[in-house]
A and B are shown apart, each in its own frame.
Chain A
Amino acid sequence: DVKVTQSSRYLVKRTGEKVFLECVQDMDHENMFWYRQDPGLGLRLIYFSYDVKMKEKGDIPEGYSVSREKKERFSLILESASTNQTSMYLCASISGGTTFGGAFFGQGTRLTVV
């Protein structure tokens, strides 16, 4: 069974903390994505990566950075957490090339910044 695993289901952090959200996939997918999901706003793309050490900004990258040192792992970093980053964060992976297909999602991390 294919898997995308996010390191935490729930997190509570303080304003100003540096926060790491980890995502691991076991499908050897080239493409990995970080979204945040907020009511009424759908899933908004923060960053994506199409290869190891390669990354591109999505639609709302401000306040975030990412790291992809290994193909299976894609980390989202909140450099200095703020209350407006309280949200559900979803990681996804997608195969590339001619097998480009539907996204496989992790279970989500609900982050609360206090």
Chain B
Amino acid sequence: AQSVTQPDIHITVSEGASLELRCNYSYGATPYLFWYVQSPGQGLQLLLKYFSGDTLVQGIKGFEAEFKRSQSSFNLRKPSVHWSDAAEYFCAVGSTSGTYKYIFGTGTRLKVLA
């Protein structure tokens, strides 16, 4: 069955520090993988996506993510966090065959210290 795990519910980092948010998935093949961000009171915005090819993908706002098939992971990274990055981040998995089931993890809330 298709599933997504984000093991960290909350993460706190200082402004300027690096960031890594973890995402693990379960799927029978290589799925489509996505990261979204939701700022308070806002809708979800797509940060980046992975379909195939280069396992390191670049997204908006300086984010990147690396797909590691051996670890079933798709971790999100940013070298230097800005206060405006404080938000909730969701990893999502889309099925690559049949009907396009699309499911989300439980989210990681990021707090940025000035």
Contacts and interface: CB of A to CB of B under 8 A. Distances in A.
A74 interface: no
Contact of B102 (A33, A40, A107): A33
A43 B49 CA distance: 18
A56 to B, nearest CB: 6
Contacts of A48: 99-102
Interface string B39-73: 00001101001010000000000000000000000
Contacts of B94: 94, 100
B102 A94 contact: yes
B100 A108 contact: no
B32 A100 contact: yes
A102 B107 CA distance: 17
B9 interface: yes
Interface string B80-114: 00000000001010100001111111110000000
A71 B44 CA distance: 23
Interface residues of B, number: 22
B99 A45 contact: no
A26 B86 CA distance: 31
Given A42-B90, A100-B94, A106 B104 contact: no
Interface residues of A, number: 27
A53 B36 CA distance: 29
A103 B92 contact: yes
A103 B103 CA distance: 11
B34 interface: yes
Contacts of B36: 102-103
Interface of A: 30-31, 33, 35, 40-45, 48, 50, 56, 58-59, 90, 92, 94, 96, 100-103, 105-108
Interface of B: 6, 9, 32, 34, 36, 43-44, 46, 49, 51, 90, 92, 94, 99-107
